[in-house]
């Protein structure tokens, strides 16, 4: 066995020719070039052989007794197993080859005897390559069709999931925030019909209050690829304020980048929670006030002198009762502010006087903690702002109290103010332990602390910053914090200057 025939054959070729010399010649020529050759002398035998084991290509003599080449080719093309095998006709020089008929019955080419080796090989090679490319194309086509089928099925599944999901879902274009699709739950919650929503943007379906927060959420989802369970408020068609936990994922719909917003309506949950907190707080306030009275009476000595140990126990009782009263008062304060039961009593007030007042109020606490308090008025230009002085003082003392609480002895807390175009900017800076970046937003929410033990150890309630934020927002201002862990924090407040009377006092 030659080394060539031991290799995997280039292709399997069936030669059908009634002239044995031709068969021998072709067979030898092709075998030497690495092809596997099967040769038969009768058309019917060739047909059976091709059906039983389809070759890669068939060389078919035109002129044969019983069944001629055209007939064989026709039969090959009728059979599913042999239909796609390329057929090259062989004709002798003296024979009349009906080329049109040869192509009509499905032949791809013809060669004439006597054979020129290079020509036969070149033609074979060409048709094998075409055949191979056709097969590849076919495979790719099938794969593509399969992928398209899978894609359509996935899209249908996605659409079904969106439609039947009990959570409100909306899909909007990323660029303009234009609604592309919503589900029924979203329509029910928002009060709008599909026709009113689709094609409109958040801005023009009157969800103005939501635009800034939504833009912020979209920006964050662009940075991270998603945003999960972000509290978000918007007004329905009928003006009802809904609170939802919003999760935003970025998706592509028909080549357009979109946001997929999945909501969890927690309006009722929030209302019940607020109602519960306020109810409990109201119920706690009266007994706690009388407890405090009783402890004060004990401490006054009117009921007899306490031993030193008794006094110590009494002090613990007083300290914790005071903390509970502070907590209940803060809860009620926040709840009343949120429900609009407390409005800001805004008057023209000298902000510099207020800053001095804040420092004086906090001085005893700072001294006790051995922390320095420093007031820096960068623009020495006294301004009157339209504010509720008591509430702004409450905000400043709260920030100063936190700054002192989280500072080490001998560190300095700075209260600064300066004017920045449309804003009066106030900052409270400390060099304490700092706040981790993932808490910079959440600490302004109710009962959110960096460390669960903060309120216990530092005597806070976890409500101070939530109250501050509410007060500042009621003044159309902004409050935020910047911090480097281990190096300190700076709380910033911007109050609008528009309504400011710039007269000097």
Site of interaction with ligand ADP (CB under 6 A)? 398, 402-403, 406, 430, 432-433, 435, 443, 449-451, 454-455, 460-466, 489
CB nearer to ligand ADP: give 69 or 432: 432
Provide, rounded to whole angstroms, the least separation between the CB of residue 446 and ligand ADP: 8
Integer Cα distance of 15 and 5 in angstroms: 18
Provide, rounded to whole angstroms, the least separation between the CB of residue 304 and ligand ADP: 36
Residue 106 backbone class (left: φ over 0; alpha: ψ -120 to 50; beta: rest): left
SS3 246: strand
**75 φ/ψ angles, rounded to the nearest 5 degrees:** -65, -40
CA 106 to each of CA 60, 66, 69, 71, 103: distance values in angstroms, whole numbers, following the listed order = 12, 20, 11, 11, 5
Q: Give burial (CB, 10 Å; 0-12/13-18/19+) of 330.
A: buried
CB 491 within 8 A of CB 481: yes
Provide, rounded to whole angstroms, the least separation between the CB of residue 359 and ligand ADP: 16
Q: Which residues pair with 425 in a beta bridge?
A: 418, 494
Q: Which residues pair with 495 in a beta bridge?
A: 424
Provide, rounded to whole angstroms, the least separation between the CB of residue 341 and ligand ADP: 21
CB nearer to ligand ADP: give 309 or 438: 438
Q: For residue 427, give every residue at least 6 positions away whose Cβ sits within 8 Å of its Cβ, in sequence order, or none.
A: 414, 415, 416, 417, 490, 491, 492, 493
Residue closest to ligand ADP (Cβ): 460
CB nearer to ligand ADP: give 22 or 401: 401
Provide, rounded to whole angstroms, the least separation between the CB of residue 206 and ligand ADP: 33
CA atoms within 13 A on the CB side of 13: 27
Q: Which residues pair with 317 in a beta bridge?
A: none
Provide, rounded to whole angstroms, the least separation between the CB of residue 466 and ligand ADP: 6
Provide, rounded to whole angstroms, the least separation between the CB of residue 284 and ligand ADP: 18
CB nearer to ligand ADP: give 399 or 500: 399
CB nearer to ligand ADP: give 242 or 470: 470
CB nearer to ligand ADP: give 38 or 433: 433
CB nearer to ligand ADP: give 126 or 448: 448
């Amino acid at each position: 066995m030659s080394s060539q025939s031991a290799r995997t054959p280039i292709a399997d070729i069936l030669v059908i020719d009634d002239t044995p010399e031709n068969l021998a010649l072709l067979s030898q020529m092709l075998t030497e070039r690495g092809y596997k050759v099967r040769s038969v002398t009768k058309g019917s035998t060739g047909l059976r052989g091709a059906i039983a084991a389809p070759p890669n290509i068939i060389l078919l003599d035109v002129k044969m007794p019983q069944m001629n080449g055209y007939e064989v080719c026709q039969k090959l093309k009728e059979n599913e197993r042999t239909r796609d095998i390329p057929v090259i006709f062989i004709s002798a020089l003296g024979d009349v080859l009906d080329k049109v008929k040869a192509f009509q019955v499905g032949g791809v080419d013809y060669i004439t005897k006597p054979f020129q080796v290079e020509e036969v090989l070149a033609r074979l090679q060409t048709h094998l390559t075409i055949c191979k490319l056709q097969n590849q194309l076919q495979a790719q086509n099938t794969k593509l069709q399969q992928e398209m089928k899978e894609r359509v099925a996935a899209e249908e599944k996605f659409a079904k999931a969106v439609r039947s999901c009990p959570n409100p879902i909306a899909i909007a274009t990323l660029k303009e925030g234009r609604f592309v699709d919503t589900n029924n739950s979203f329509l029910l919650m928002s009060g709008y019909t599909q026709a009113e929503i689709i094609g409109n943007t958040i801005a023009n379906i009157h969800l103005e209050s939501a635009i800034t927060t939504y833009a912020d959420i979209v920006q964050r989802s662009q940075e991270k690829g998603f945003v999960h369970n972000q509290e978000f408020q918007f007004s329905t068609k009928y003006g009802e304020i809904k609170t939802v936990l919003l999760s935003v994922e970025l998706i592509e719909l028909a080549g357009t980048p979109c946001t997929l917003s999945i909501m969890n309506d927690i309006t009722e949950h929030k209302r019940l929670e607020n109602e519960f907190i306020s109810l409990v707080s109201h119920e706690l306030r009266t007994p706690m006030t009388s407890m405090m009275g009783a402890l004060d009476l004990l401490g006054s000595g009117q009921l007899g002198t306490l031993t030193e140990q008794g006094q110590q126990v009494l002090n613990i009782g007083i300290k914790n009762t005071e903390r509970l009263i502070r907590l209940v008062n803060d809860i009620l304060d926040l709840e009343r502010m949120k429900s609009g039961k407390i409005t800001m009593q805004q008057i023209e007030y000298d902000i510099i006087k207020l800053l001095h007042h804040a420092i004086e109020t906090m001085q005893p606490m700072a001294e006790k903690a051995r922390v320095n308090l420093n007031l820096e008025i960068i623009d020495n230009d006294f301004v009157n702002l339209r504010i509720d002085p008591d509430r702004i003082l409450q905000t400043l003392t709260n920030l100063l109290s936190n700054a002192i609480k989280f500072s080490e002895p001998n560190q300095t807390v700075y209260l600064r103010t300066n004017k920045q175009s449309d804003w009066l900017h106030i900052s409270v800076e400390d060099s304490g332990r700092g706040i981790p970046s993932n808490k910079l937003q959440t600490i302004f929410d109710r009962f959110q602390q960096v460390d669960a033990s903060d309120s216990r150890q530092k005597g806070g309630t976890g409500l101070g910053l939530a109250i501050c934020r509410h007060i500042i927002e009621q003044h159309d201002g902004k409050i935020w914090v910047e911090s480097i862990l281990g190096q300190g924090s700076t709380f910033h407040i911007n109050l609008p200057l528009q309504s400011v009377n710039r007269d000097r006092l």
